[in-house]
Amino acid sequence: RKEVEQDPGPFNVPEGATVAFNCTYSNSASQSFFWYRQDCRKEPKLLMSVYSSGNEDGRFTAQLIRASQYISLLIRDSKLSDSATYLCAVSSSGYALNFGKGTSLLVTP
């Protein structure tokens, strides 16, 4: 079983919709959590870190629920430019990351 699991999608949503991505991790000792965005044939780029208290950056909200080993990302008011693959990343060692396979999002006009 892969250490970080994500629903692969694809998620096809209209502009303006709210979309939620889920991620689970298997190592309860994991210490840091992130969401990355990856555009086609590009490198992953950090979207936001994830904290137990929940954190928000504009239209993006991330949440960590340690008891369930669950991480979420909510995107409100989706834009065409949000179309990308969203990667959940978890660090158990503190030195490197374990990634989920990514969830593909397509926002349509």
Residues near other proteins (CB under 8 A) are 2, 31-32, 34, 42-46, 49, 87, 89, 91, 94-102
Q: Which is nearer to other proteins, 4 or 107 (CB)?
A: 4
Amino acid at 105: L
Q: How far is the CB of 54 from other proteins (least distance, A)?
A: 18
94 vs 109, beta carbon nearer other proteins: 94
| Distance in Å, CB of 89 to other proteins, minimum | 8
Nearer to other proteins, 72 or 91 (CB): 91
Residues 6+ positions from 94 with CB-CB distance below 8 Å: 31, 32
Going by the DSSP 8-state scheme, the letter that residue 92 receives in this structure is: S
Tell me the Ramachandran region of residue 9: left when phi exceeds 0, alpha when psi lies from -120 to 50, beta otherwise: left
CA–CA gap between residue 78 and residue 5 (Å, rounded)? 23
| 69 conformational bin, left if phi > 0, alpha if psi -120 to 50, beta if neither | left
Nearest distance from C-beta of residue 102 to other proteins, angstroms: 6
Give the residue with the Cβ less far from other proteins, 49 or 72.
49
